[in-house]
Amino acid sequence: MTECVECGADVTLHDNAEVGEILDCTTCGAELELVERNPPVLDRAPELEEDWGE
C-alpha cells in the first residue's frame, strides 16, 4: 500500500508489480508510475509523446 501523489488516496500494488509499470489511482484516476518497489514509491506517469509506440 502506498499513497497517490496526485490525491493522497491509498493505492494498493498487485503482487507482481514491476518498477516502471503504470498504475491507475482508483480514486482520482491519475496515471502513476511505480518508481521504487520496496518500499513502494509512486510518481506521476510521463505524458504520452509523439514518438511512442512499437
Partner 1 sequence: MQVGILYSRIRKDEKLLLSELRERGHDVVKIDVRDLQFGLDEAPEIFADLDVVVDRCLATSRSLYATKFCEAYGVPVVNSAETAQTCADKVQNSLALAGAGVPTPATDVAFTKESAMESIESFGYPCVLKPVVGSWGRLMAKIDSRSAAEAILEHKATLGHYEHKVFYVQEFVDKPGRDIRVLATDGDPVAAMVRSSDHWLTNAAKGAETEAFELDAEAKKLVQQASDAVGGGLLGVDLMEVGGGDEPNYTVHEVNHTVEFKALNDAADADVPAEVVDWLETKAAAKQEVVA
Contact positions vs partner 1 (CB under 8 A): 16, 18-22, 33, 46, 49-54
* Closer of 38 and 49 to partner 1 (Cβ): 49
User: Which residue type is seen at 19?
Assistant: V
* Closer of 5 and 8 to partner 1 (Cβ): 5
Q: How far is the CB of 8 from partner 1 (least distance, A)?
A: 24
Q: Coil, helix or strand for 45?
A: coil
Q: Coil, helix or strand for 36?
A: strand
* Closer of 38 and 52 to partner 1 (Cβ): 52
DSSP 33: E
